[in-house]
Homo-oligomer: A and B are copies of this chain.
């Protein structure tokens, strides 16, 4: 019998602010680590690490990410409003520390590519920059933005317009072995993890336990 720590709603309200931020950021479970690349009309590039990219649908191919309320300066949201394009670049074991550094508050005129040493790469499809160090990356056009009534958070929805994956990672059924690509996971605000596969399971059906398919 395990012992549990317990918090009521008012216990959570009473926590010291920084403690609560760390605690609540741990509750969703492991999160994705992606760099969002954008560009402003003057050609200044921007990179921002986000842990909130989620799958929305495959037909058409859609993803979404959450941006904090734009009550402070939000270079990514401003660039999206101006250009309508962004790239998503999975963070891997070889660039996770540089990726984290993009969360520092650089002035608007500074591209995060410079101080972090990450490399911008461009395609003919998308004006926003890719991250050359990423092994799975794609370009999106903004199709919808939702401001959530509850706390002013903005959800950006993008349609995938171009996809690039380092060779050998895509299986015959379309599954991408992102573990083999060295993609990392995040917990809380600041902890980075690599992964070890437990297994792939077949499509679940009533009456029969799912079997291993890896």
Interface pair B58/A25, CB less than 8 Å apart: yes
This chain's copy number in the assembly:
2
How far does the alpha carbon of A206 sit from the alpha carbon of B30 in the complex, in Å? 27
Interface pair A192/B198, CB less than 8 Å apart: yes
**Counting CB contacts under 8 A, is A119 at the interface?**
no
Interface pair A204/B96, CB less than 8 Å apart: no
Min Cβ gap A150→B in Å is: 5
Which of the listed residues A13, A19, A23, A199 has the most CB atoms from chain B within 10 Å of its own CB?
A23
**Counting CB contacts under 8 A, is A36 at the interface?**
no
**Counting CB contacts under 8 A, is A74 at the interface?**
no
Q: Which of A119-163 contact B (CB under 8 A)?
A: 125, 135-136, 138, 143-144, 146, 148-151, 153, 155, 157, 159-163
The DSSP consensus for interface residues of chain A is mixed
Within the complex, which residue of B18, B28, B138, B185 is in contact with A174, where a contact is CB–CB below 8 Å?
A: B18
Min Cβ gap A36→B in Å is: 12
Interface pair A166/B201, CB less than 8 Å apart: no
Within the complex, which residue of B100, B150, B163, B202 is in contact with A201, where a contact is CB–CB below 8 Å?
A: B100
Q: Which of A167-181 contact B (CB under 8 A)?
A: 167, 170-171, 173-176, 178-179
Interface pair A153/B27, CB less than 8 Å apart: no
How far does the alpha carbon of A204 sit from the alpha carbon of B47 in the complex, in Å? 14
Give the total of A residues in contact with B, Cβ under 8 Å: 118
Which of the listed residues A26, A33, A184, A206 has the most CB atoms from chain B within 10 Å of its own CB?
A26
**Counting CB contacts under 8 A, is A104 at the interface?**
yes
B-contact 0/1 string along A106-130, CB 8 Å cutoff: 1000100001000000000100000
Interface pair A21/B192, CB less than 8 Å apart: no
Min Cβ gap A9→B in Å is: 5
Interface pair A173/B22, CB less than 8 Å apart: yes
- Selecting from A38-46, A61-69, A75-83, the interface stretch reads A61-69
Known: A26-B136, A97-B209. 11 other contacts (CB 8 A): A4-B166, A7-B164, A8-B162, A9-B162, A28-B63, A101-B210, A104-B206, A106-B206, A155-B155, A185-B195, A192-B199
